[in-house]
Amino acid sequence: MLEVFSELSDRNRVFILSIFVGIIAALAAIILKSAVHFTQSILQNAFPEDTFNLLYLAFPVIGISLTVLYIRLFVKDDLSHGVSKILYAIARNNGQLKTHHTYSSIVSSTLTVGFGGSVGLEAPITLTGSAIGSRLGILFKLNDKSVITLVACGSTAAVAAIFNAPIAGVVFAIEVLMLDLTTASLVPLLISAVTATSASYLILGRGIMFNSTHALDFDMYKLPFYMLLGVFTGLYSVYFMRVSGKIEQLFAKIKKPYIRLLTGGILLSLLIFLFPSFYGEGYDSILAILNDNIHKLFINSPFYFFEHNEWLLLGFLFLLLILKTFATAFTTGSGGIGGVFAPSLFLGSIAGCFIAVLMNTVFDLELSVLNFTLAGMAGIMAGVMKAPLTAVFLIAEISGGYQLIVPLILTVIVSYAVIYPFEQFSVYTKPLALTGNLITHHKDKHALSKLDVKDLIEDNFITLSPDASLRNLVETIAHSTRNIFPVVDQDGQFHGIVVLDDVRKIIFEPEKYDSVMVKDLSFIPKVSVDPHELISDVAIKFKENNLYNMVVLDKENRYYGFISRANLFSRYREIVAEISDD
């Protein structure tokens, strides 16, 4: 059987493996969600609804402590920013993810979120699914492009299985991972999405989150209020990214892990004590709003007795919006593992609910809280994740239909337009952009990143000693096919170059053969290339200086050879053709 499989083309093997990626990733997603819900049911559900519980002060600290211990003792690797790790693997490692990513995020995020960490499970599940695809591709010795496709299949399967939303899963891989939309990549994504959704349905039945949610018909005359919601969610997305990023930077400056853990854990515990809806992913709170049970946001909160006052409700919702960002940043900054997918949906639901309740209270407009909650979720996703299509299709799929498609698109467009002047990168791509590793979203950079200066060095140039004479140069010219002659001493130190065009006249003056030295004819070029330099920087040098060849020298002025413009761009075109090959 394996022999038959190995004889298939890479494309056909990817089609087959995408089925297994879909199944395994769906199982991983189900295991993680079930483990977290089981943990939460033990810790949380025993609390009476009309009281607050002091255990909220302990659980998050315990969960993050266990997470940090697990990572330091067993994983010994950084597990934060799961989607960013996928993007980095695609950009720099040809889609190769470490084996432990197939399970480590499941354990660590279960401990974090199960004990109340205010983050989501989607990023850990996505990283797990991508790692499964990566390891299967490597196991069956597929080429780099096929491995990257299976990585995207894992991400697709994870999103599709969690939300029972196969289209959103496919769009997520294309839009967030920036996978090329070709037949060769699209078909495996569709296979994994359908397989994962089917597996999730067979195991969980209709027990998928938001399965009871159905959007209501909307009034076209109320579209301006969806535009208002788009402005609000766009501005809030700026707030979320700026504040959460700043908090994580502050935590990164704390050098001692236990101080970082205790600081973040205690601050998170205090916030959850005051606002229990921050506990875990927050999907229960979203469902409460969607099912017109906003009062459930007050369960176990010290503010429980103020739930029936509309103005106090608005104040409570506004506090949730302001402080949820802190809760999420405290979780990740202190060492917890999770993503911002679920917090984005939580914040979007609160934002939509806030705008609807505010407009209804002040102007008696009778806006649908359900519809605005769904549109708000799409608006925050579009702003924070820079994934407008994913936001539209995900909310449309989980809301049971596409009758809300126009308000969703309008909200998403406005939100995206509002945040773009302030934040050009998403929460996933910003860490990579700051370190110069964001190349998946730029095809030119992606292609150039696959080239290495050392692989392009041409070393078949005949070198001359600085003490060589014009006679030696003439003899060298007679045996060379090049018109450039590097001047290098016996220690490999570079002293300049001699260009044939510059000495063409003097080589026909025999009387000077023994009196003129090569060092007198050479010159030091203004531009050189370091053997460890990025090819993208080399390409810029070629363009800015209008050169056809550049000498390669290290920091000790040691000569390696030359790199040619023609050879570089020839290899670049080959890689672009390979990447775009359908």
> Domain 220-441: which topology?
Clc chloride channel (1.10.3080)
- Residue, of 557 and 448, whose pLDDT is higher: 557
User: Do residues 324 and 316 make contact, with C-beta atoms less than 8 angstroms apart?
Assistant: no
For domain 2-204, the CATH architecture is Orthogonal Bundle (1.10)
User: Do residues 136 and 21 make contact, with C-beta atoms less than 8 angstroms apart?
Assistant: yes
Give the Cα separation of 68 and 5 in Å (integer).
42
**Amino acid sitting at position 336:** G
Hey, where are the domains in the chain? Answer: 2-204, 220-441, 446-580
Residue 311 has a CB neighbour count (10 Å cut-off) of: 11
Provide the token pair at 417.
């337009």
Task: Please give the DSSP secondary-structure letter assigned to residue 493.
Answer: B
In this prediction, residue 225 has a pLDDT band, given cuts at 50, 70 and 90, of very high
pLDDT at 137 over 90: yes
CA geometry: angle 230, 87, 536, nearest 5 deg: 105
**Tens digits of residue pLDDT in 167-181:** 999 999 988 887 666
Which region, left, alpha or beta, applies to residue 527 given φ > 0 means left and ψ of -120 to 50 means alpha?
A: beta
Give the Cα separation of 291 and 212 in Å (integer).
8
- Residue, of 128 and 569, whose pLDDT is higher: 128
Tokens 């102007």 sit at which residue? 363
Size of the chain, expressed as the number of residues it contains: 582
Beta bridge partners of 484: 499
User: Do residues 458 and 450 make contact, with C-beta atoms less than 8 angstroms apart?
Assistant: no
Provide the token pair at 213.
């949610």
* Residue 211 confidence (pLDDT): 57
Q: What is the dihedral of CA 254, 260, 263, 265, to 10 degrees?
A: 150
Mapping DSSP to helix (H, G, I), strand (E, B) and coil, where does residue 280 land?
coil
Give the Cα separation of 99 and 131 in Å (integer).
7
pLDDT at 210 over 70: no
Give the Cα separation of 20 and 196 in Å (integer).
9
User: Do residues 119 and 62 make contact, with C-beta atoms less than 8 angstroms apart?
Assistant: no
Count of CA atoms in the C-beta half-sphere (13 A) of 275 = 25
517-537 average pLDDT score: 90
Q: Is the fold of 2-204 the same as that of 220-441?
A: yes
DSSP alpha helix (H) spans, 253-367: 257-274, 283-290, 310-333, 341-363
Binning the chain into helix, strand and coil, the percentages to the nearest 5 are 65, 5, 30
* Residue 64 confidence (pLDDT): 94
Give the Cα separation of 297 and 299 in Å (integer).
6
pTM: 0.82
CA–CA distances in Å: residue 98 to residues 81, 103, 522 = 15, 10, 50
* Residue 451 confidence (pLDDT): 79
pLDDT at 21 over 80: yes
Give the Cα separation of 340 and 407 in Å (integer).
24
* Residue 57 confidence (pLDDT): 76
pLDDT at 52 over 70: no
User: Do residues 357 and 314 make contact, with C-beta atoms less than 8 angstroms apart?
Assistant: yes
In this prediction, residue 397 has a pLDDT band, given cuts at 50, 70 and 90, of confident
**Tens digits of residue pLDDT in 148-157:** 999 999 999 9
Percentage of the chain exceeding pLDDT 90: 53
For domain 446-580, the CATH architecture is Roll (3.10)
**Tens digits of residue pLDDT in 361-372:** 998 888 989 899
Tokens 């639901």 sit at which residue? 349
204-217 average pLDDT score: 63
Give the Cα separation of 348 and 14 in Å (integer).
37
pLDDT at 577 over 70: no
DSSP alpha helix (H) spans, 385-509: 388-398, 405-419, 430-434, 443-449, 453-456, 470-478, 500-503
**Amino acid sitting at position 46:** A
Give the Cα separation of 75 and 111 in Å (integer).
14
* Residue 231 confidence (pLDDT): 97
Task: Please give the DSSP secondary-structure letter assigned to residue 462.
Answer: P
* Residue 430 confidence (pLDDT): 83
* Residue 337 confidence (pLDDT): 94
Provide the token pair at 323.
């402080």
In this prediction, residue 447 has a pLDDT band, given cuts at 50, 70 and 90, of low
Give the Cα separation of 312 and 367 in Å (integer).
19
Backbone dihedral angles phi then psi of residue 387, each to the nearest 5 degrees: -135, 70
User: Do residues 308 and 345 make contact, with C-beta atoms less than 8 angstroms apart?
Assistant: no
pLDDT at 42 over 90: no
User: Do residues 175 and 391 make contact, with C-beta atoms less than 8 angstroms apart?
Assistant: no
